[in-house]
Amino acid sequence: MIHYKTSEEVQKIKESADILGRAHGEIAKHIKEGVKTSFLDKIAEEFIRDHGAVPSFKGYNGFPASLCISVNEVVVHGFPSEYELKDGDIISVDCGVFHQGFHSDSAYTYPIGEVSPSVLALLKATKDSLYLGIEQAKSGNRVGDIGHAIQKFVEAKGYTVVRELVGHGLGKNLHEAPEVPNYGKKGSGPLLKQGMVIAIEPMINLGSRNIVQERDGWTIRTADRKPSAHYEHTVAIFEDRTEVLTTHKYIEEIVKF
């Protein structure tokens, strides 16, 4: 069942998303060569709690951290660890905030130092595909229109779309209906209507779309160990417009990519 939000509830999600956006900005200040990913997790949790909110991911189905940190061939759901970021790495930082009874969720993939042109192109295409998906997230369209726009764009560039992992509705729960795949047919899937709040999150691979799950039960990586990129926004559907509730502006003030 899809839970349609009132304007007041959307406003609460937006306030949660503001804390999330500023937390991402704080994390971005520390993303550089030599930094341990566990340190980034500590920064995020302290910032979120200092602002009267709770990290959505910590303890979710047993997840041990506030951030999903996914490096290079890890697609999503990587654990923060003692791993130190290296020149040429890419790192996806996925974070959620629970505030005033509502969740927000967003992600950003960063290049570290000198990253190969082919991998930088993957990051740019994935980020661009997120906004093409958002353009289709409007009242009267269907969920398949979002996935179709993302899939058509990235596949034309030679990349592949992860199929097993998808975007989602969110609100009082971190994951709600509907699922929002990053592939699909125009005009298919649930109708997009006023009050829907969804997380759109393309997960795009440089090589094969096939993935495997590591023994920790969480970490998802590409089967061929080629890099994967991930960007995400939480958006609200209104009758006359779509509003992006999360923001990357605090990241983009620091990271010129």
Binding positions for substrate are 77, 175
Q: What's the rounded Cα separation, in Å, for the pair 107 and 94? A: 4
User: How many C-beta atoms lie closer than 10 Å to residue 105's C-beta?
Assistant: 27
- Are residues 127 and 95 in contact, defined by beta-carbon separation less than 8 angstroms? no
What's the Cα-to-Cα distance from 41 to each of 25, 44, 47, rounded to whole Å? 13, 5, 10
Binding-site members for a divalent metal cation are: 94, 105, 168, 201, 232
User: How many C-beta atoms lie closer than 10 Å to residue 172's C-beta?
Assistant: 14
Task: Tell whether the torsion through CA atoms of 155, 152, 138 and 191 is positive or negative.
Answer: negative
Q: What's the rounded Cα separation, in Å, for the pair 50 and 43? A: 11
Binding-site members are: 77, 94, 105, 168, 175, 201, 232
Q: What's the rounded Cα separation, in Å, for the pair 171 and 196? A: 9
- Are residues 222 and 202 in contact, defined by beta-carbon separation less than 8 angstroms? no
What's the Cα-to-Cα distance from 136 to each of 82, 121, 162, rounded to whole Å? 40, 23, 19
Contacts 24+ apart (CB under 8 A), 5-12: 5/171, 5/195, 5/196, 5/197, 5/236, 6/195, 9/102, 9/171, 10/195, 10/197, 10/236, 10/243, 10/245, 12/99, 12/100, 12/101, 12/102
